[in-house]
Amino acid sequence: MNKVKITSKGWHTYSSHLCGVKFHDGVSVEPLNDATINRLAATITIVRLDEEGVESPAGAAYDLIAASAARAPVLPKLMRQSDAEAAAEAKRDLLSAEKAPHGKMYSHEELQAVVDAEGLKGLRVIGDAWGVKHRNINVLIQMILREQSDFVEKRKQHFERINDKIQAAIDEQKIAQEAARKKAKAEADELEQAASILQGADHVAKEYAVGEIILTGEAVIEAAWKRSGMSATGWNKTKSDQIAELIANELKLIGVEAAKPEVPSIPVVPVAPVETVDERAQFDVSRLPALSAQLGSIAVHTNTIPDAEPVVGGNIEREGE
C-alpha cells in the first residue's frame, strides 16, 4: 500500500476529502490499496509515493503496462529418464519390494515361539511393524499372518508390473530398431532403384578398366550422379549434354579408360592343294562307234488296248454252261 499525490494543476494545496479519501496539501493522509488508487486515478491525475517519497505512475493503465513487461522465467525442459536410470530404478524397486516391514516373514509356529519367549509384548512389536494391534494373542497372530499374506501378494503383483515395464521397454527398443532397419533398407532400395534408372550418356562404354579392376558403365554414371549432389529426378531432368559433361569429368577424376574386349584368335587350318583334272582329256574317243550301235538297237514299245466288242442281249453265257 502506498500514499498518492495529486499532480493535476492547481491541486497541490488541496486539503479535503476526494472519493472518500482524505488529502492534505494534495497528498493522501493514509496509504491506499490498489483498488482505491485505481479509482482515484480514473478521476484525477495522481502518482504513487513509496516510503522514501519516490514518485511512480499510478492507475490501471500503468499497472497493465508494468504487468506486460514482467515475464515469468522460462524453466528448462525436464530431463528425460535414460535407459540406465530406468533400469537402476527398477532394480531399486525390486530390492525394496523384497524387504518385509519387520525384515522377516514369520510362520504361525515362529509367532507362537515369540509369545512363549517374550509374551504379548514381543508379539506386539511384530504387530506394530505390520500395522496391526490387538489384545488377544491368537487374534493378533492371525492379523499378522494375514498382513504377511497380503504383502506377499502385493509383492508378486509389483514384480509382475516391473517385468511388464521392462518387457515393454525391450519391445519398444526392438520396434525402434526394426523401424530403423526398415528405413535404412528402404533408403538403400530407393537408392538402388534410382541408380538403375539414371540417365546416361551415349559415349559411356559398357566397361572401364582401372588397373586390373573392371568398372561397369552404370557404376561410372552412378558415381557421377552422387558427386553432382542431385536427386535422381533432378539428374534425369538435366539436359543430356550436361549429363555427358558430368560423366566425362567423373571419368577424368577416376582416370579410367575403356576396356578393350578380347577377340578370340581363329586357328588357321592348312588346306591341301586340289589337283585339277580335265575330264575331256581322259575321255576315250574310240568308244564312240560302240555307243552309237547300242543306241540304235533300242526299240520303242507302245502298250495298246484292243477295241472291245459290244455286248448284245441281257444274258451272258458263262463258260461251262
Q: For 60-106, what is each residue's pLDDT tens digit?
A: 888 777 777 667 777 788 888 888 788 777 766 655 666 666 667 88
What is the average pLDDT score of the chain?
Answer: 75
CB 15 within 8 A of CB 25: yes
In a domain, 99, yes or no: yes
State the Cα–Cα distance between residues 237 and 230, nearest whole angstrom: 10
Last residue of a domain, one of 237, 258, 279: 258
pTM attached to this predicted model: 0.29
Quick one: which of 6, 53, 50, 55 has its CA closest to 27? 6
The strands making up 27-28's β-sheet, listed across from edge to edge, are: 17-18, 21-24, 27-28, 3-6, 46-49, 55-57
What are 164-216's pLDDT values in tens digits?
Answer: 888 888 888 889 889 888 888 887 777 666 555 666 666 677 777 776 777 77
Domain count across the chain? 3
Residues 41 and 91 in one domain: no
Residues 60 and 93 in one domain: no
- Mean pLDDT throughout 227-251? 80
In a domain, 146, yes or no: yes
- C-beta neighbour count of 163 within 10 angstroms: 12
Residues 92 and 148 in one domain: yes
Residues 135 and 161 in one domain: yes
Residues 88 and 170 in one domain: yes
Last residue of a domain, one of 66, 94, 114: 66
State the Cα–Cα distance between residues 287 and 283, nearest whole angstrom: 9
Residue 272: all three cell numbers together: 591341301
CB 208 within 8 A of CB 248: no
State the Cα–Cα distance between residues 236 and 125, nearest whole angstrom: 86
Q: Which domain holds residue 147?
A: 83-177
What are 127-144's pLDDT values in tens digits?
Answer: 888 888 888 889 999 998
Residue 183: all three cell numbers together: 528405413
Residue 261 has pLDDT above 80, yes or no: no
Half-sphere exposure of 202 (CA within 13 A, CB side): 3
**Over pLDDT 90: what percentage of the chain?**
1
What are 9-29's pLDDT values in tens digits?
Answer: 888 888 888 888 888 888 888
What is the distance in angstroms between the CA of the first residue and the CA of the last residue of the chain? Answer: 173
In a domain, 197, yes or no: no
Residues 137 and 102 in one domain: yes
Predicted local distance difference test score (pLDDT) of residue 142: 92
Residue 233: all three cell numbers together: 529426378
